[in-house]
Each structure stands twice: as C-alpha cells, then as structure tokens.
C-alpha cells in the first residue's frame, strides 16, 4: 500500500500537474462540446488508460530506453505526429459527423468509442509522458519500498486523479453542448476548433525536443 506520508506529498503535486491546462484538458473539452458527455468521459478515460500504459512501460524499462535512445524516442514521437495530423485534417474537411440530430446526441456509441481510442493513442504516442512517469513517480517511492509495486500503485492513483478532474471538466462543459450544436455556424466553429486542436498538438509534439537524460 501507499504510505500516508507519500499520499500527502504525491497527491498535491500530481493535482498541480493535472489541473494545469494542457493537451488532455483541451481534447476532452472539445470532445465534450462536439460529441457530448459520453464522448468527453470516454476521452478522459482514454487519457487515464494512457497513463497506465506508460506506467507499465516504465516498470518494464521502456521509459528508461526512451530516455536514452534518441532514435526510438523520435520514431514514437513522429508516429504520434502523423496520427494527430491525420485526424486533424480529417476533422477540418469532414462536416458529416456534425450534421446530426441534436436529440440523438446522447446515443452515439461509435463517437464514444472513437473518443476513447483517439485519447489512448494520443497519450501513448507522446514519449514525453513516458519520460515524465519515469522521472516523477520515483521521487515519491520510499527507499525501503517495493519499487515495482509502488510504481504501479502511483500510476493507478495518478490515473484516477486525472480521470476525476477530466470528468469534472466534461460534466461542466457537456450541459451546454446541445444548445451549442443547434446552430450550423456553431457546429462549423466547433469542428474547426477540434481539428485545430489536434493539428496544434501534432505541431507542438513535432517541435518538442527530447528531454536530456
């Protein structure tokens, strides 16, 4: 189990990072507006799942390899860039998914699943998250503790904290979504905003430098 002293230091530090505006918050926000509460919650769950993937990778040493291997880091980074650019351009060009029956917005299972899958891929394709997990979590592991177990527990706790915050963002945002999407002009604006966010993430990731080991 995680010691109380560890919780008292880890949780506040993690919350500061989680509530800072970033790609995850923006992505969940745009998904909530575009596709509704279910899609927003699924996107939040997707980013939380990505944290667990990175934690597992860190436990098995992949994060350490990313930290030292410039080639592997670059390959994963640009795969993520291509993914983000592809869906960003697709969003800008395709208006079909926004021309929907507003009364049926709460029952778009495909949109919910697609939001989850995109969020997972966006998160795990960013190698900086893996390096962050490797650099951040060990600071809160007591010297006598089982490192593997503590890394897993901290990863689960961080994922829960992130999901809780992003769920709050979704619930706060989604209630206005129905009225927003009743207007064709607003639908177009949301579509461009969503596509621009994905392209922006891709550009940011493309120009980010690998953290020094």
Rounded mean pLDDT, 193-213: 67
How would residue 161 be classed by pLDDT, with cut points 50, 70 and 90? very high
Q: Tell me the three state secondary structure of residue 141.
A: coil
Q: What is the reported pLDDT for 208?
A: 65
Structure tokens at 171: 């619930």
Lowest mean pLDDT among 48-57, 62-71, 113-122, 183-192: 62-71
Q: Is 97 a residue whose pLDDT tops 50?
A: no
Compute the distance between CA of residue 22 and CA of residue 101 in angstroms, rounded to an integer: 31
Q: Tell me the three state secondary structure of residue 185.
A: helix
The residue with greater pLDDT, 208 or 35, is 35
Contact 54, 133 (CB under 8 A): yes
Rounded mean pLDDT, 167-184: 69
How would residue 105 be classed by pLDDT, with cut points 50, 70 and 90? very low
Q: What is the reported pLDDT for 102?
A: 42
Structure tokens at 90: 């697709």
Compute the distance between CA of residue 51 and CA of residue 160 in angstroms, rounded to an integer: 10
Structure tokens at 14: 């993690």
Q: What is the pTM of this model?
A: 0.65
Q: What is the reported pLDDT for 163?
A: 93
Q: Tens digits of per-residue pLDDT, 137-148?
A: 877 877 677 878
Transcribe 163-177 into DSSP letters.
HHHHHHHHHHHHTTH
Rounded mean pLDDT, 109-114: 69
Q: Tens digits of per-residue pLDDT, 11-53?
A: 988 887 787 666 777 778 878 877 778 888 999 999 999 889 8
Rounded mean pLDDT, 133-161: 83
């Amino acid at each position: 189990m995680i010691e109380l002293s560890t919780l008292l230091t880890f949780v506040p530090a993690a919350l500061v990072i989680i509530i800072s505006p970033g790609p995850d918050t923006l992505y969940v926000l745009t998904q909530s507006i575009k596709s509704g509460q279910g899609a927003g919650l699924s996107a939040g769950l997707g980013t939380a799942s990505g944290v667990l993937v990175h934690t597992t990778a860190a436990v098995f040493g992949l994060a350490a390899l990313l930290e030292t291997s410039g080639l592997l880091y670059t390959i994963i980074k640009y795969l993520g860039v291509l993914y983000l650019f592809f869906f960003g351009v697709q969003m800008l060009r395709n208006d079909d998914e926004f021309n929907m029956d507003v009364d049926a917005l709460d029952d778009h299972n495909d949109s919910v699943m697609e939001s989850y899958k995109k969020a997972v891929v966006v998160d795990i394709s960013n190698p900086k998250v893996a390096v962050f997990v490797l650099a951040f979590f060990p600071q809160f592991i007591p010297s006598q503790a089982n490192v593997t177990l503590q890394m897993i527990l901290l990863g689960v706790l961080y994922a829960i904290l992130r999901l809780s915050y992003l769920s709050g963002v979704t619930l706060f945002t989604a209630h206005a979504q129905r009225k927003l999407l009743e207007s064709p002009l607003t639908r177009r604006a949301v579509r461009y905003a969503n596509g621009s966010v994905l392209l922006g993430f891709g550009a940011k990731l493309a120009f980010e430098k690998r953290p020094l080991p």
